[in-house]
Chains A and B, each alone.
Chain A
Amino acid sequence: SQTIHQWPATLVQPVGSPLSLECTVEGTSNPNLYWYRQAAGRGLQLLFYSVGIGQISSEVPQNLSASRPQDRQFILSSKKLLLSDSGFYLCAWSAAVRRGVYFGEGSWLTVV
């Protein structure tokens, strides 16, 4: 069966520091991969999606970036965090988006 993991689960970072969140999927090949951000108790905002290695599509202008160095690895990064980057970050995968996506456990980021 397929599994998805992301880490770290929680982190507190100072403004201006770098960020790296990592996500890996097991049990499937060539998945579509997604990064979402969620404000407290609200809907999910699509940040990036990838349909293959090295292929990244960005949905919103921001100081975040994403990379897919391997088929089942998706990384969310920032060179300098802003206070507004705080939130709950979720990685997800799908075989075909119209059939649904499957989420990781989420990563809480607090920028102080």
Chain B
Amino acid sequence: TQLLEQSPQFLSIQEGENLTVYCNSSSVFSSLQWYRQEPGEGPVLLVTVVTGGEVKKLKRLTFQFGDARKDSSLHITAAQPGDTGLYLCAGADSSYKLIFGSGTRLLVRP
């Protein structure tokens, strides 16, 4: 069974601080994806990383795929209250399935 473990589960920080969220697995994935979800809405795709060691930047967000394609991290620089939400990582294997992690709930206090 493929599992994706996210840490931390909950993070409360002050506006302007930096943070990193981790997504780890013992399985190899063909791609690792990050989503952000607001309460009562469906998750929205932020980024997809497909190559081991790949780094992608989206404004203040930096995403990295591990060299062995088993883990990923999301780093947010100078967090803002608008970054508040549930962050989900998801791994795609060689089939059609996409497996999600348990999520990291981020609260950025003004």
Contacts and interface: CB of A to CB of B under 8 A. Distances in A.
Given A41-B103, A42-B103, A98-B31, A59 B97 contact: yes
A106 B41 CA distance: 6
Interface stretch (B14-22, B44-52, B56-64, B70-78): B44-52
Contact of B98 (A34, A51, A108): A34
7 contacts: A41-B105, A46-B98, A49-B96, A49-B97, A98-B92, A103-B44, A105-B41
A100 interface: yes
B86 A97 contact: no
A42 B102 contact: yes
Nearest to A90: B42
Interface string B71-110: 0000000000000001010101000111111110100000
Pick the 7 closest A-B CB pairs, nearest first: A103-B42, A98-B31, A43-B102, A44-B100, A100-B45, A98-B92, A43-B100
A101 interface: yes
Contacts of B98: 34, 46, 94, 97, 101
B101 A51 contact: no
Contacts of A102: 45
Contacts, number: 61
Given A34-B98, A57-B96, 9 more contacts: A41-B105, A43-B6, A43-B103, A45-B100, A98-B48, A100-B33, A106-B40, A106-B41, A106-B42
A55 B108 CA distance: 43
A39 to B, nearest CB: 10
Nearest to A9: B40
Interface residues of B, number: 25
Contact of B30 (A36, A45, A98, A101): A98
Interface string A89-101: 0101010011111
B8 interface: no
A46 B4 CA distance: 13
Interface string B22-42: 000000001101000000111
